[in-house]
Structure 1
Amino acid sequence: MRLRTLSLVSLLLVVALAPATGAAATGLTDASPAHPAASAAQADSCSFPYSATDATGTEVTLDSDPKRVVTLNPSAAQTMWELGASDDVVGVSQYATYLDGADEKQNVSGAGGPSVEKVLAANPDLVLVPNTTYGFAKDRVDQIRAQGVPVFVFGTGTSLSFVADKTEQTGRLTGNCEAGRRVADDVRTSAELMREALADEEKPVGLNYFYGYTSGANTFIGDVMTTAGLRNGAAEANVTGFGQVNDELVVEMNPEYVVVPSGATIPTNEAWNSTTAVQEGNVVEVNENYLQQPAPRSVDAAETIMQAVHPEAYEEYQSLQAEANETTGTEAQTTGESSETDATAAQTTAAGDATATTETGASSPGFGAVAAVVSLLGAALLATRR
């Protein structure tokens, strides 16, 4: 247990430091997860071949829908699970085992990072690489890419908006376009509804703390906190990126809430004990698999913080979510009914076309029945949006 805890600490520190050091050193793009190079028509059709430029500036081309995907970080694995595409994942990192069924996949981790040999042995069609992994294991990722394996590296996550974009891009890369758009829209909607419910609330000062480090400006965790209704005290203290926090800063900041990943603790000394957060028992523990990973379940992390800090606004948020879900369901049903009507009309037209073809002896095929099937399938997809 102690060894696992130390390993987890190492992972958390790597996640914290890679965006500030490794990512910058390797020239990863921070603004977005990727810059698609494909045409709009290609993207809408979810067809293959498909090409997109990743955060390293490399154009990645997929000749066909990848059915053997390796994820080199838990955030990439979590995203695939949320897309309902876990069956396409053949390799995961050792810290992704919290996901249902992940322990049945090939563990591609090695000493100090991904194992090139294990990744190649999994015979992947695509390797998904979050920026944290590329930041500290660039040489290994480059070795995998040198073997002709399509490798897509994402940029540095700084917000929930990034998570949504990254999710949608993952869906496109893996041929799960509809799921990617749906889950991405859920992330965007949840963040928007949180901000709406918190519009009139006073925002107390919060501090993210994990093993001597904090999340300052331009960090994904910082955005999770502010979306949930906290001010980021570290950012206001001019901390940019992930940096160390000392007792003097803690006293000066005097956080009203402290956010920690599950299993982590805060120091028990005079500086920390003097804070409003400690004196009022406002230490919010959040599942580290959601708080530390720029992936769809980060919404759960924001919800946990919001519920602890703004319980009344959280209830309003839940009501807004219920209304949004009901509206979406109604729209899907209406669209489905419309599609069924269109399908019926298409079938009628098809029957007429078939009759006309028989009567005239024409040999060209009719496409009405095919259109009907496509319409019905579209209705089914829309009806299962939620």
Structure 2
Amino acid sequence: MVEVKLHDIGEGMTEGTIVSYFAREGDEVKRDQPIIELQTEKMVTELSAPVAGKISKIHIEEGQTIPVGTTILEIEAADNVNNEPENKNIEEVDNKQSTTTGPKRIKAAPFTRKVARELGVDIDAITGTGKDGRITVKDVESFSNGGTQIEEKQTSSTQEDVEFIPFKGRRKQIAAHMTKSLFTIPHVAHMEEIDMTKLLAYREDIKETYNISVAAFFIKALAMSLKKFPIFNAELDEDNSQIKLKPNVNMGVAVDTKEGLIVPVINRVEDKSLGTIHSELKTLNEKARENTLQPQDVRGSTFTISNVGPMGSIGATPIINYPEVALMCFHKTKKMPVVNEADEIVIRSMMNVTLTFDHRVMDGGDAIQFTNYFKSLIENPNIMLVELSGE
């Protein structure tokens, strides 16, 4: 008998929520066949069968949150079966007819299956119109509008009709991570305003040739600032009484999704062009909102940004993404009257930024110098490009 346990799939996860099973007790499964859909703090992922055989016992119900190390189910290994890993990836398994006696493998992304559950739709009854028969969100929504729905589960309520929202999955894990950060790190927030007028004009000038987002400029300017002030691209190792200065800038980008906040990572941004940063940022944002991020997409950040300006924020004091030592938040850019050096009132595009930092690692003076340098690059994009050319 082989036990399938919840293991740490990265970033020191401590628990996960069983979203659904792709096979049931008594079903035959192949080695490396996906059998469990799992929700962690940062993503929805799949766990595969370690051996070929029959599922003899499922211990954990769908929707239950369990700690790492818990036995999820047991597989009775098949006799006379080669249990060496097959030289196939999951996509290849999806595109071929299964020869097992278990249920067919539904070709749908975890996010699509989540939409189906929310709409009360039996995804087994849907014919996919996507590539290789894959079921899309549109297929689910179309079926919901005109097809047969399964019985919806009623939300628990009191006599006063109070609605209860389950506190589990990513929401619960985000809470644990934020609580640890806030109670471990002495947070200090330094705020500054930045004149975005020249950068927005420069971006407009190059728009037809290079369509680069403002966020890509922020990330590149921060990479340059972090190289100049490496104390902000660090991690405090209290056990060994030392501060680790990270050699590369791996930028975490906070993304707001239906499942909650998630932080995909653009690695080694100091070595990448503005165009490459823009492209990777766009891809990671799409994957985050579609809930298709992979473990490698969310690992190893050394500094995090939160760009809440498009949502209308004018100020905040965000919590640091532990074990990092700083985070920068960008707020709404708006036109407003400003008094220039000639004492003239002019209209400029102004943006507030907040730098939250770990006061154990650096002081207010460090934060001001770091922010002022970043500000100088954003307010003078030509100087920023000259600095880049000299790297």
TM-score (norm 2): 0.23
Structure holding more strand per residue: 2
Identify, as 1 or 2, the structure richer in helix. 1
> Which is bigger in relative contact order (C-alpha 8 A, separation at least 6)?
2
